[in-house]
Amino acid sequence: GEQVTPLLLLALIDDARAQACMCARDVSLPSGHVARVGEVMVSLDTTSGYSGDTSFWSGFSVTDLHGDSMAGMKMSPHFVQSGKFEASVGLPKSFAVSAALPYVAMFHTEENEMPGDVDNNGIGDVSVMGRWGKKVGMSKWYLGLSGGVTLPTGQVVTGSPVRRGKGALGWVVGVQGVYRLNPFVALAASAGGSSTALPTPDNYYVGAMVNGSFGARWTPKENGPVVLSATVLEEWQDADRKDALIYENSGYL
């Protein structure tokens, strides 16, 4: 079958760290679906976000462990849109494999003086994942596990708040749980994380990320084609680093 899932996540981000939003996030929302052998599922997730405050911002704040410093500059707020196309195939024993292709576009909304922080758009890191999902016996519980790698197909623009990629091979893991209250309503939760797995060619490391979500879904018809859901997502990313430099205003909650 074919499943198209439009997803819009609007986040309230602390202004002091908003400029470092990494898009095309590796978020796995639980579906409670166990793929049948040979079943193909297709999904499209989209996100939109606005970050920054010109009255507050004076530029990246950098801590240099060698004692140097970097002057502050005016930074424009950003409007970011991302989309992720994913396709998965069901395998025996409740396993499935999937591949995802993200695309990210970032635009400044006002004048910007920060070198390297330019409008940019393009493909992010392609991910290849393995998933296992299974209904627990005769209970109302579904459990899922996922893990895989991200390929360095996305560009890392040094000095830009939007990292389309990690710059090197990375890893992604996740766990999902769904409790079905009745044939039409279910509660769902997930947790996951991602990080760079190998050194980058220029020693620029995008911060590791962890996230968790909780939500509910409702379908007017049991096993029907229409599903309505509401999800709360909390996500944290560590600061970026390059050699002895720590980019304090990168990372976000």
Q: Could you tell me which residue, 91 or 73, shows the higher pLDDT?
A: 91
**Confidence bin at 99 (pLDDT 50/70/90):** very high
Predicted pLDDT at 68: 44
Q: Please, which pLDDT band fits residue 92 given cuts at 50, 70 and 90? A: very high
More confident residue, 44 or 35: 44
> For the sheet containing 62-64, what is the strand order?
62-64, 245-247, 240-242, 204-205
C-alpha distances in angstroms, 29 versus 50, 117, 132, 231? 22, 31, 14, 9
H or E stretch at 179: strand 170-180
Average pLDDT over residues 235-243: 88
How much is the average pLDDT of 20-36? 59
> Over the chain, what is the mean pLDDT?
77
Region 155-162: mean pLDDT is 67
57-78 pLDDT, tens per residue?
334 444 444 444 445 566 677 7
Half-sphere CA count of 52, side-chain side, radius 13 A: 27
83 with 102: CB under 8 angstroms? yes
Locate 198 and state its tokens. 């190998």
Task: Summarize the confidence of residues 203-208 as an average pLDDT.
Answer: 88
Residue 13 above 60 pLDDT? no
Residue 107: which of 119, 121, 124 has the closest Cα?
119
- Give pLDDT, residue 206: 87
Measured CA to CA, the distance from residue 249 to residue 14 in angstroms comes to 11
pLDDT of residue 59: 41
Q: Can you tell me the mean pLDDT for 202-225?
A: 89
Q: pLDDT tier at 116 (50, 70, 90 boundaries)? A: low
Q: Please enumerate in sequence order all residues whose Cβ is within 8 A of that of 9, keeping only pairs 6 or more positions apart, or say none.
A: 27, 47, 49, 231, 233
As a whole-number percent, the residues of the chain with pLDDT over 70 amount to 74
Q: Is the pLDDT of residue 96 over 90?
A: yes
